[in-house]
């Protein structure tokens, strides 16, 4: 009888230790921040991925000041996934660059966003005035929120700004107000999206 308890106890302790190892390998210890601050403007969204890859960042939170057309699921690929201008976020998830997304919605479009067919809210974010966890087939946390509801974040974040939706100055002011720092700030100034 004691022999079975000992085996059970040892098994439980071993499982606990393995869980800690797995959690720590996917947590803060697996995040890689760029060695310097980078502020760049790109003419195609896929060039942001090249910058993130060049800086060797990993496991990061992304503040996405853009539309998010790939929120509804994975792209259709024949063969291995390939980077295109329309799948920047999804491809960055595949490569473990992005682990969490704050999808920033202009204040005036919050109610409109909730009526979009591709939006599948899972639940509200309890500590945010305007915040929704959205269903995302990519399997990472996707939080839709507005600039006024964005919480102060303690980790350095990646920032991607579509200048047709938000101006870089608006975003810099927001980051300063919230005390959020970023090691890579990318502005997309292009013709599409």
Domain that holds residue 68: 34-188
The verdict on residue 14 lying in a domain is no
Q: Tell me how far apart the alpha carbons of residues 167 and 130 are, in angstroms, rounded to a whole number.
A: 21
Q: Is the pLDDT confidence value at 130 over 80?
A: yes
Q: Quote the pLDDT of residue 72.
A: 46
The CATH number covering residue 114 comes to 3.40.50
pLDDT: which is higher, 41 or 67: 41
φ/ψ (deg, to 5) at 82: -125, 145
Radius of gyration of the chain (CA): 19
Q: Is residue 18 part of a domain?
A: no
Q: Which pLDDT band, with edges at 50, 70 and 90, does 177 fall under? A: very high
Count of structural domains within the chain: 1
Residue 20 pLDDT class (50, 70, 90 cuts): very low
- Of 154, 157, 103, the C-alpha closest to 130 is 103
């Amino acid at each position: 009888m004691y022999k079975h308890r000992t085996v059970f106890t040892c098994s439980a302790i071993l499982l606990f230790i393995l869980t800690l190892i797995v959690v720590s390998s996917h947590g803060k210890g697996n995040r890689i921040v760029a060695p310097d601050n980078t502020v760049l403007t790109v003419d195609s969204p896929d060039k942001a991925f090249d910058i993130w890859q060049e800086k060797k960042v990993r496991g990061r939170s992304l503040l996405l000041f853009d539309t998010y057309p790939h929120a509804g699921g994975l792209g259709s690929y024949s063969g291995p996934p390939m980077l295109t201008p329309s799948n920047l976020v999804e491809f960055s998830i595949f490569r473990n660059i992005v682990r969490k997304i704050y999808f920033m919605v202009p204040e005036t479009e919050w109610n409109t966003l909730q009526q979009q067919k591709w939006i599948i809210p899972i639940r509200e974010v309890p500590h945010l005035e305007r915040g929704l966890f959205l269903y995302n087939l990519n399997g990472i946390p996707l939080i839709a929120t507005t600039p006024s509801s964005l919480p102060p974040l303690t980790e350095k974040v990646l920032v991607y700004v579509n200048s047709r939706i938000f101006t870089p100055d608006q975003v810099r002011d927001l980051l300063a107000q919230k005390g959020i720092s970023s090691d890579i700030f990318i502005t997309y100034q292009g013709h599409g999206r």
